[in-house]
Amino acid sequence: MVHWNARLLMFFIVVLIGVVAAGPVMASSDAAAPAAQGQGEVHGGAPAPPSAPAAVPSATPWWVWPVVLFIVTFILGILAVLGGVGGGVLYVPIIGGFFPFNLDFVRGAGLMVALAGALAAGPGLLKRNLASLRLALPVALIASSSAIVGAMIGLALPQDVVQIALGVTILGIVGIMLMAGKSDFPKVPHPDKLSQALGIMGIYREESIGKEVEWNIHRTIPGLILFIGIGVMAGMFGLGAGWANVPVLNLLMGAPLKISVATSKFLLSITDTSAAWIYMNNGAVLPMMVVPSIIGIMLGSIVGVKILAKAKPKAIKWMVLALLLFAGLRALLKGLNIWK
């Protein structure tokens, strides 16, 4: 059974690589036709500017792209669960690097994908007391405000600058994932006054040891300051911020690992909401991208959870890191006009 699942996983990865490689080929065949803009009537809207040339039929049928998006995000959903990473951090660099969609729309869709995942997971995590509302709310206020700023900066910057910054950030994320440790039950000898005043503490039942675990946090202010930067990056790049939330909550502030992971997931539903609104109000949310992506990632996550029990997580994590490294390099080189 383990053998069968490993082969299935390799099949998915090969399909992903194939589809990702085919994306630019199909996109370049579309680009071979003159750049088209609708002339005259734009259905249901105001007439297009008179200088726009007539539209030319695309070489690739329109339905191919949402189908391909669905397949790719389905596989990303599986890999995200198995690799222990968020769907958003995989989505933006991969879709942005290998598909013909402008990065503005990719980031808008990426935020919606991360948001949908967080909204789906949130209720269960809150009810099991693994996600802490008391920990999340002050952090979310900082992060969501910063995400608005990040989104506005991201939409205002030139494309190449965003690609370079995205590439550098993704490579930095790979570095963090490689080097950052984890602490299941960090020691917090002296909870700070702010966290005590806000009542940021809790007790949860740790099933793996069959005991109740009490937790507190410290370094609240440094943590909140870091969440300013995390929020800006989440908004600017359309990434979910789990890769940053968890180390800050766990290693800096001292929340137990499970509380950190669960609260981080829940936190995304608030942080990404504010940024998603900015992208939506600026027109950077395309249903043709968003809906297949959300459905693909969510179905993939469900399958990923089923495979998780039998797959080898370490091997998958290395594959995911390799994929992220490749996607980060692609974004960086694309922004530098070295690899278009």
According to CB under 8 A, which residues from 206 to 225 bind another protein?
212
Residue number with CB closer to another protein (71 or 324): 71
232 binds another protein per the rule CB under 8 A = no
The whole-angstrom separation of Cα 138 and Cα 200 is 9
Q: Which of 15, 148, 201, 257 binds another protein (CB under 8 A)?
A: 148
- Looking only at residues 16 through 35 of this chain, which bind another protein when binding is defined by CB under 8 A? 27, 30-31, 35
Near another protein in 58-77, by CB under 8 A: 58, 60, 62-63, 65-66
Number of C-beta neighbours around residue 8 at 10 A = 14
Question: Is residue 155 part of the contact set for another protein (CB under 8 A)?
Answer: yes
CB of 254 to another protein, least distance (A): 19
Query: Per DSSP, what are the bridge partners of residue 205?
Result: 212
Site for another protein (CB under 8 A): which residue of 195, 216, 269, 301? 269
Shortest distance (Å) from residue 25 CB to another protein: 15
**Phi and psi of 39, rounded to 5°?**
-115, 145
Contact between 295 and another protein per CB under 8 A: yes
* Nearest one of 13, 235, 264 to 145, comparing CA atoms: 235
Task: Say which residue the tokens 């259905």 belong to.
Answer: 43
Smallest separation, CB 87 to another protein (Å): 15
**Closest to another protein by CB, 17 or 42:** 42
CB of 101 to another protein, least distance (A): 5
Note whether 159 binds another protein by CB under 8 A: yes
Question: Strand runs (DSSP E) across the chain, as ranges?
Answer: 201-206, 211-216
d(CA 304, CA 309): 9
Q: Which one-letter DSSP state was computed for residue 24?
A: H
Distance CA 313, CA 82 (A): 6
Span near another protein by CB under 8 A; candidates 89-97, 150-158, 221-229, 244-252: 150-158
Shortest Cβ distance from residue 77 to another protein (Å)?
Answer: 15
Residues 83-122, one symbol each (x = binds another protein by CB under 8 A, - = not), give -----------------xxx-xx--x---x--xx--xx-x
The answer to whether 260 and 246 have CB atoms below 8 angstroms apart is: yes
Cα distances (Å, whole numbers) of residue 17 to 12, 20, 26, 68, 113: 9, 5, 14, 12, 21
189 binds another protein (CB under 8 A): no
Q: What is the DSSP letter of 211?
A: E
